[in-house]
Amino acid sequence: MASSQGKNELRFADWMAALPASIHRTPLTNLAIPGSHDSFSFYIDEASPVGPEQPETVQNFVSVFGTVAKKLMRKWLATQTMNFTSQLESGIRYFDLRISTKPRDPDNELYFAHGLFSAKVKEGLEEINAFLADHPKEVVFLDFNHFYGMQKYHHEKLVQMLKDIYGNKMCPAIFAHEVSLQYLWEKEHQVLVFYHSPVALEVPFLWPGQMMPAPWANTTDPEKLIQFLQASITERRKKGSFFISQVVLTPKASTVVKGVASGLRETITER
């Protein structure tokens, strides 16, 4: 069993490199590339403050119930159980990244965040880069799609961080249909960075957020989700950009209240 599992991990870790030659020049917009939702949420720190994007009701809930409230929150906020390296080894190539400053943080660090704070952004990006160094034909999509509590200098800090970590691995923004594996391999690019902020217009290696739209079904009903995905795929194929099919069910407030102690996995995942 262990031997078989090891072979699978190796195959998934280099699945782009192993694609047949007939696909090498196919635009990446025409390929289905596996990704993860709230990709960083394998490490959500229950000891952290509540994220600045959370409504006042959640802030009040935590202020009253403290650690117990955060433990319950984590059950609903953690959408991943694997770290970045394990996700990459399993074949994930698209990462959904949400960035925040932390209130009263003396080091003025940037963190991944989803309700509560996760790992430092720098550590996560370095982990991804370490994988890319070992797998030179694999390509990742980094989608920075939410920013919380960030001022201009925070964006400058993040842009510099990307430069320092990835350097020439990043593919400058061009027409989406021009990007194929062959093109990226020839240029030795491995990273496409999508940045949902006007800052993207000022930096050549940042792809504007509209080049990676992510229509959201916002439903707990699997049938409605499937209908939404089918409609959005048909529509997005006409646009000529990358796009995300969010195959995720979203719990409503009533869903959380009914299953407050059980969590996302038990309440939603099986659907």
* All structural domains of the chain with their residue ranges: 26-209, 213-270
CA distance 124 to 112: 9
Least confident of 16-30, 103-117, 180-194, 195-209: 103-117
Q: Under a CB-based contact definition with an 8 Å cutoff, are residues 180 and 26 in contact?
A: yes
Burial class of residue 120 in the structure, from the number of CB atoms within 10 Å of its CB (0-12 exposed, 13-18 middle, 19+ buried): middle
Overall fold of domain 26-209: TIM Barrel (3.20.20)
Query: Using 50, 70 and 90 to split pLDDT, how confident is the model at 236?
Result: confident
Of the listed ranges 67-76, 116-125, 176-185, 227-236, the least confidently predicted one is 67-76
Per-residue pLDDT, averaged over 28-43, amounts to 96
| Mean pLDDT computed over 82-94 | 98
Q: 226 or 56, which is more confident?
A: 226
Cα angle vertex 95, ends 229, 20, to 5°?
Answer: 80
Cα distance between residue 97 and residue 121, in whole Å: 9
Q: What is the pLDDT of residues 46-59, one digit of tens each?
A: 878 877 777 666 66
Which pLDDT score is estimated for 34? 98
DSSP classification of residue 128: H
In angstroms, the CA 247 to CA 227 distance is: 11
Residues present in the chain in total = 271
Give the whole-angstrom CA distance, residue 24 versus residue 108: 42
3-state class (DSSP) for residue 36:
strand
| Distance from the Cα of residue 137 to its chain's centroid | 20
Q: What average pLDDT does the structure give for the chain?
A: 89
pLDDT given at position 3: 41
Task: State the maximum Cα–Cα separation within the chain, in Å, rounded to a whole number.
Answer: 59
Catalytic residues: 37, 114
Look at strands 94-101 and 206-208 and give their pairing: unpaired
Q: Is the predicted pLDDT of residue 261 greater than 80, yes or no? A: no
- Residue 202's pLDDT is what? 96
Mean pLDDT of 207-226: 94
What is the pLDDT at residue 7? Answer: 55
Query: Mean of the pLDDT values across residues 246-256?
Result: 85
How far CA 53 is from CA of 56, 114, 194, in Å, comes to 9, 8, 21
